[in-house]
Amino acid sequence: MRALVVDIADSTRKKLCSFLRERGYDVVTADTGRDGMLLAQDSAPMVAFVAQQLPDMDAEQLIPPLTNLGVDTRVMVMSDAVELNRAVHAMKHGAEYYFAKPLDFGHVAMILDGVEALQRSNRETAHSRRMDRRKSIRTPTIGESTQIIKVQRLVKLLAQNRTTPVLIMGESGSGKELVARSIHESSGVSGPLVEINCASLSESLLESELFGHEKGSFTDAKVLKKGLFEIAAGGTIFFDELGEMPLAIQAKLLKVLDTNLFRRVGGTIDIRSDARFMAATNRDLPQLVREGKFREDLYYRINVLPITLPSLRERGGDILLLADYYVRLLGESMGRSYMRLNSPVEELLCAYGWPGNVRELRNVIERALILAGSGPIAPEHLPADIRALHVIENKGTSDTGKLLPLRQVEEEHIKRVLCATGNNHSRTASILGMSRSTLLARLKKLSPLS
């Protein structure tokens, strides 16, 4: 859960911050309306506390951009003196509640209890509605790193251009299938998404799966069978592990892409296909082309606007964002109350290389939640190869084994956490267990050295 506090008054900001953090919120703060707005776009808070009077605007001006973030943000306005007509005015503009200063935290807690319960139930209704429709996106593409934002932009573009072939490349577990589904689901097509794993079938079975067969076309063909190209009419046909497709089928596939026509096995008439082509692979296709294992003409035909998914280790701050997402999601399904990850665990997650990408992270969090029972996740709940990083990272010696001065160890550590969070100051400060302003002061001191 994230929260935003916008107030020029230092003491209100500090007190609210520590109150909200204790409740499990990740808090970002600003002292002007403009900064608040920018931070909100980055962090998409669930609740925002906004002072009535800000240096550059009134709370009423800030409410609409906050409530339009698309994440059900609730805005609380705080004022030095409660004036009834200002309160009514603020609520009319979409404020959830109007508090008088100094804040009575018992009262704030009560209001937040209600807001959180409402948001939870809204989320659950939205979730079950999504599950009902089955066709809509089940998992959002979580991430704020520049690499994943670029991916999200391409997803949008490809959803709008429904005839362009889609090629998704990336390491195992990096989210290729998730991206394929989200392009299909956001393109508003009426037909289904049908998926075929090219590695799982022999050449002849793959051919009859794709194109179907006429009755009697071979010994086992007792009845007419429709192929996936026909089933995917008006929708998408998704070739997973495309790099494993046999060359003979590649040639047939290219023909369908070029002509939009195909024939059932044993058939004599051409059938028109309007299914959109999508494919994913974790293989290096240009390399397969060089080795003669993938047709060059097919590669160029589908490589129009390829999406290359970044590995998780390249995504910096997304590691913690995804970890928190899974703590919440999987924890909820286990009936656990939400507890944010503590700094030693976050540090280990950031230091690890994640060869199995998001899938591995999800598994690690699930395992840790089970081992932790109802308590917080601790380093000993992580797999041994992640835990081992603790010893290596904290040795306090240089590469040559020389003992280092504390200041240098500290500097390197701050830089490492900054890097892992993608330069996010609030998150870095929270991992390091210091306030954002202390971190900024430290960075100022460090900069002449770095």
Ligand X SMILES: Nc1ncnc2c1ncn2[C@@H]1O[C@H](COP(=O)(O)OP(=O)(O)OP(=O)(O)O)[C@@H](O)[C@H]1O
175 forms part of the interface with ligand X (CB under 6 A): yes
Name the one range near ligand X by CB under 6 A: 114-122, 138-146, 271-279, 387-395: 138-146
**Residue 287 interacts with which of ligand X, Mg ion, none, CB < 5 to 8 Å by class:** none
Name the one range near Mg ion by CB under 5 A: 169-177, 187-195, 286-294, 378-386: 169-177
The residue from 53, 119, 141, 164 that contacts ligand X (CB under 6 A) is 141
DSSP 390: H
Q: Which is nearer to ligand X, 198 or 414 (CB)?
A: 198
String of b and e for 398-410 (b: at least 16 CB within 10 Å)? eeeeeeeeeeebe
Let me know: does 168 contact 278? Beta carbons within 8 Å. Answer: yes
Q: Which is nearer to ligand X, 170 or 192 (CB)?
A: 170
Q: Which is nearer to ligand X, 64 or 286 (CB)?
A: 286
Q: Which is nearer to Mg ion, 93 or 359 (CB)?
A: 359
DSSP assignment string, 253-283 = HHHHHHHSEE--BT--S-EE--PEEEEEESS
Q: Which of 352, 425, 413 is nearest to 382 (CA)?
A: 352
Q: Which of 104, 17, 174, 120 is nearest to 332 (CA)?
A: 120
Let me know: does 427 contact 434? Beta carbons within 8 Å. Answer: no
**Which amino acid, 409?**
V
DSSP 334: T
**Residue 170 interacts with which of ligand X, Mg ion, none, CB < 5 to 8 Å by class:** ligand X
- For residue 93, the SS3 value is coil
Judged by CB under 6 A, the chain residues 223 through 262 that form the site for ligand X are none
Q: What's the burial of 92, exposed, middle or buried (CB within 10 Å: 0-12/13-18/19+)?
A: exposed
212 forms part of the interface with ligand X (CB under 6 A): no
Strands 193-197 and 212-213: unpaired
The residue from 33, 173, 227, 317 that contacts ligand X (CB under 6 A) is 173
**Residue 276 interacts with which of Mg ion, ligand X, none, CB < 5 to 8 Å by class:** none
Task: Give the tokens for residue 367.
Answer: 């395992």
Let me know: does 424 contact 317? Beta carbons within 8 Å. Answer: yes
**Residue 172 interacts with which of Mg ion, ligand X, none, CB < 5 to 8 Å by class:** ligand X
137 forms part of the interface with ligand X (CB under 6 A): no
Smallest separation, CB 212 to ligand X (Å):
26
DSSP 194: E
**Residue 184 interacts with which of Mg ion, ligand X, none, CB < 5 to 8 Å by class:** none
Instruction: Report the distance separating Cα 276 and Cα 220, nearest Å.
Output: 29
String of b and e for 97-112 (b: at least 16 CB within 10 Å)? bbbebebeeeebeeeb
The residue from 236, 273, 282, 311 that contacts ligand X (CB under 6 A) is 282
412 forms part of the interface with Mg ion (CB under 5 A): no
Smallest separation, CB 363 to ligand X (Å):
9
Contacts of 84-89 with CB under 8 Å at 24 or more apart are 86/52, 89/60
Which residue's C-beta sits nearest to ligand X?
Answer: 175
274 forms part of the interface with Mg ion (CB under 5 A): no
Q: Which is nearer to Mg ion, 142 or 351 (CB)?
A: 142
Strand partners, 307: 168
Instruction: Report the distance separating Cα 437 and Cα 115, nearest Å.
Output: 30
177 forms part of the interface with Mg ion (CB under 5 A): yes
Instruction: Report the distance separating Cα 324 and Cα 374, nearest Å.
Output: 16
**Residue 319 interacts with which of Mg ion, ligand X, none, CB < 5 to 8 Å by class:** none
The residue from 48, 169, 358, 364 that contacts ligand X (CB under 6 A) is 358
**Residue 282 interacts with which of Mg ion, ligand X, none, CB < 5 to 8 Å by class:** ligand X
Let me know: does 137 contact 185? Beta carbons within 8 Å. Answer: yes
The residue from 263, 276, 362, 427 that contacts ligand X (CB under 6 A) is 362
Q: Which is nearer to ligand X, 129 or 138 (CB)?
A: 138
Can you give the binding site for ligand X, defined by CB under 6 A? Answer: 139, 141-143, 170, 172-178, 280, 282, 322, 358-359, 362
Can you give the binding site for Mg ion, defined by CB under 5 A? Answer: 177
